[in-house]
């Protein structure tokens, strides 16, 4: 049970008829010992919560909780109504109660591991500044754009192809249903998150509300919007673990069954990292591994056959210069299991199979600079045809920023332009820039997250323009610009309309590429 579910049900009118609570129909049989204990403390000792003190749950109560299923929403709602706002800070109570169940509600299939505890949360942010010294000076202005890149050249004869990364973690998938609970999606993590300091514009929620991307109707709405606002392609994160798949329903049951799918091209990027429990975690290194990425030649050829059968032959599959594109996130991980010469041979065999299926030559793309670090000059020799730099703002994973630190968007934008130039000079294949919307994964890591702050649509539009001029000035390859991302809600890089910026970021994309 996640505490946000409490706040969602403001009254029982939203509950199914069979679960509505009335004075005469309350059933207490499903009440959990830890909840009873916590509510009792809250009623008898409201000062304990008013003074921001934690509720300690006895070990025997914790053990009893672990032996039962999660709480039903209606039972929890009933007990919350027993504690009025005049007695306590309701929000802090829900947060404390939520962390209690977050700590002890470990999925049954994961209890053999030692999962990370939830990040510490507190409502006392008086010592945290909303705007840090230097934030205003770092703003990405027109003058800084001009200083960072040559914008005097004409763009008239350049046709840019705009590709947005799409993370499909917003619908239920069998593996996660088994690991957590039936119907789980990462929207649960978003709903559980909250601001960490005054002026912290997070979380941002979908303006359309929570919808199922794995259904054609929801996908049709997304396709229509993406196409209307200037996006040509979705590069969809694709999860394959030696035959075990995650989140492919978004593509196979949603996008590919949408009536308007022809309006948007798509390709897949194999997100070949270990799949870890960030939902939430104390830090990336503390996150328990849920699925370990282990591969070999046989696995990669089975993966290729699956893509040929399900994706590559689709009429709207994205091609670069007539060749179907297959992105690989983490080259260095593949090199754990295959020597460089072996991997090159595997890539050659993959190409042969794609060509034998009548689909032409496969275009292999190295998608993440951190994944091909140390091999920039060898990408062509290994068999890659292009490279990009997925999300230059992923500071939480870089190791160069202390946990909890904040970087203003303007500073991050200038660093991104610098990294485009440096990476393009190193790689042995055409390089395509990526424009991040933002970065804030405090939904996953709490105060240990590294956050990009003070982001805004006008600064983003300047970064998009910088990518145009970078691409126009680089004659090596087609003019392709990546955007990260369409829908990374728990990392705060989202183009989809949200409850803070509305359609402003999509407007920035349309003004840049369709005006």
Same-domain pairing of 216 and 95? no
pLDDT of residue 133: 86
The token pair at 167 is 């993370």
Closest CA relative to residue 423, chosen from 382, 367, 462:
367
Whether 240 is covered by a domain: the verdict is yes
Whether residue 116 lies inside any domain: the answer is no
> What pLDDT, on the 0 to 100 scale, is given for residue 194?
93
Domain identity same for 162 and 101 = no
- 161 and 229: one domain? yes
Q: Is residue 249 part of a domain?
A: yes
Are residues 47 and 168 located together in one domain of the fold?
Answer: no
Number of domains making up the chain: 2
Would residue 278 count as lying in a domain? yes
Residue 127: band (very low, low, confident or very high) from pLDDT cuts 50, 70, 90 = low
| CA–CA gap between residue 136 and residue 509 (Å, rounded) | 24
**pLDDT (mean) for 320-332:** 97
Cα–Cα distance for residue pair 209/266, rounded to 1 Å = 24
Residue range(s) defining the domain that contains residue 179: 142-514
Residue 5 has pLDDT above 70, yes or no: no
Residues 278 and 386 reside in one and the same domain:
yes
Find the mean pLDDT for residues 185-189: 96
| Mean confidence (pLDDT) of the chain | 81
CA distances from 441 to 78, 119, 444, 453 (A): 32, 12, 5, 12
If asked whether residues 182 and 329 sit together in one domain, one would say: yes
* Co-location of 85 and 161 in the same domain: no
Provide the CA 418 distance to its chain's centre, in angstroms. Answer: 24
Mean pLDDT of the region 309-320: 98
Q: For position 49, what pLDDT does the model report?
A: 38
Hunting for tokens 């507190």 — which residue is that?
122
Task: Report which of 160, 164, 269 is spatially closest to residue 226, judged by C-alpha positions.
Answer: 164
Average pLDDT (219-223) is 98
Q: Please, what's the b/e burial string for 249-280 (b: 16 or more CB within 10 A of its CB; e: otherwise)?
A: bbbebbbbebeebebbbbbbbbbbeebbbbbb
Which whole number is the average pLDDT over 362-383?
A: 93
Q: What is the mean pLDDT of residues 459-485?
A: 94
Residue whose C-alpha is closest to residue 478's, from 282, 327, 321, 336: 321
Over 90: is that where the pLDDT of 88 sits?
no
Question: Which of the four pLDDT bands, split at 50, 70 and 90, describes residue 399?
Answer: confident
Helices (H), 193-296: 216-228, 249
* CATH at 221: 3.20.20.80
Q: Report pLDDT digits (tens) over 285-305.
A: 999 999 999 999 999 999 999
d(CA 486, CA 493): 7
Q: Decide if pLDDT at 6 tops 70.
A: no
Asked whether residue 27 falls in the same domain as residue 155, the answer is: no
16 assigned to some structural domain: yes
Which region, left, alpha or beta, applies to residue 411 given φ > 0 means left and ψ of -120 to 50 means alpha? alpha
Q: Which of 43, 76, 105 is the last residue of a domain?
A: 105
Q: pLDDT band at residue 126, thresholds of 50, 70 and 90?
A: low
Of 7-16, 49-58, 326-335, which range is least confident? 7-16
In a domain, 122, yes or no: no
In a domain, 279, yes or no: yes
- Which pLDDT score, from 0 to 100, does residue 131 have? 84
Is there a contact between 440 and 451 (Cβ–Cβ < 8 Å)? yes
* 151 & 68 share domain: no
Residue 118 lies in a domain: no
pLDDT tens readout for residues 27-37: 333 334 444 44
3-class DSSP state of 279: coil
Q: What are phi and psi of 156, to 5 degrees?
A: -60, -40
Residue that wins the pLDDT comparison between 337 and 65: 337
> 151 and 87, same structural domain?
no
Residue 417 has pLDDT above 60, yes or no: yes
Residue 129: the pLDDT is 77
Domain shared by 168 and 96, yes or no: no
Same domain for 475 and 376, yes or no, is yes
């Amino acid at each position: 049970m996640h505490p946000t579910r409490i706040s969602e049900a403001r009254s029982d009118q939203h509950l199914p008829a069979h679960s509505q609570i009335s004075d005469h129909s309350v059933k207490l049989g499903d009440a959990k010992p830890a909840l009873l204990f916590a509510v009792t403390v809250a009623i008898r000792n409201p000062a304990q919560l008013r003074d921001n003190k934690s509720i300690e749950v006895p070990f025997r109560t914790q053990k009893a909780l672990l032996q039962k299923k999660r709480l039903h929403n209606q039972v929890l709602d009933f007990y919350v109504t027993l504690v009025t706002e005049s007695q306590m800070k309701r929000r802090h109570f829900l947060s404390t109660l939520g962390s209690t169940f977050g700590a002890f509600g470990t999925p049954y299939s994961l209890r053999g591991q030692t999962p990370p505890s939830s990040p510490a949360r507190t409502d006392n942010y008086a010592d945290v500044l909303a705007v840090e010294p230097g934030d205003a000076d770092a703003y990405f202005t027109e003058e800084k754009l001009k200083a960072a890149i040559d914008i005097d050249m004409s763009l008239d004869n350049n046709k840019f192809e705009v590709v947005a990364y799409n993370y499909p973690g917003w619908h239920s998938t069998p593996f996660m249903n088994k690991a957590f609970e039936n119907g789980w999606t990462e929207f649960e993590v978003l709903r559980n998150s909250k601001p960490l300091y005054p002026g912290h514009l997070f979380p941002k929620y979908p303006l359309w509300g929570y919808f199922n991307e794995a259904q054609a109707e929801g996908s049709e709405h997304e396709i229509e919007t993406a196409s209307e606002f200037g996006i040509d392609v979705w590069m969809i994160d694709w999860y394959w673990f030696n035959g075990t798949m995650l989140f492919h329903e978004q593509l196979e049951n949603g996008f590919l069954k949408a009536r308007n799918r022809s309006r948007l091209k798509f390709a897949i990027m194999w997100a070949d990292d270990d799949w870890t429990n960030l939902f939430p975690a104390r830090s990336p290194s503390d996150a328990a591994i849920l699925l370990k990425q282990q591969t070999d030649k046989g696995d990669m050829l089975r993966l290729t056959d699956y893509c040929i059968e399900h994706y590559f032959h689709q009429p709207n599959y994205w091609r670069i210069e007539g060749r179907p594109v297959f992105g690989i996130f983490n080259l260095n991980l593949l090199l754990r299991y295959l020597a460089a010469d072996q991997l090159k041979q595997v890539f050659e065999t993959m190409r042969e199979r794609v060509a034998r299926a009548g689909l032409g030559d496969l275009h292999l793309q190295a998608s993440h600079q951190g994944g091909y670090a140390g091999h920039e000059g060898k990408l062509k020799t290994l068999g890659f045809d292009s490279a990009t730099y997925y999300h230059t703002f992923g500071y939480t994973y870089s190791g160069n920023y202390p946990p909890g630190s904040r970087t203003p968007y303007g500073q991050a934008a200038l660093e991104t332009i610098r990294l485009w130039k440096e990476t393009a000079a190193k790689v042995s294949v055409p390089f395509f820039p990526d424009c991040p919307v933002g970065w804030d994964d405090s939904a996953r890591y709490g105060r240990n997250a590294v956050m990009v702050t003070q982001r805004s649509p006008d600064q983003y539009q300047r970064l998009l323009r910088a990518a145009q001029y970078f691409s126009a000035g680089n004659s090596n390859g087609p003019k392709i610009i990546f955007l990260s991302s369409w829908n990374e809600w728990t990392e705060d890089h989202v183009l989809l309309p949200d409850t803070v910026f509305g359609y402003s970021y999509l407007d920035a994309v349309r003004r840049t590429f369709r005006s």
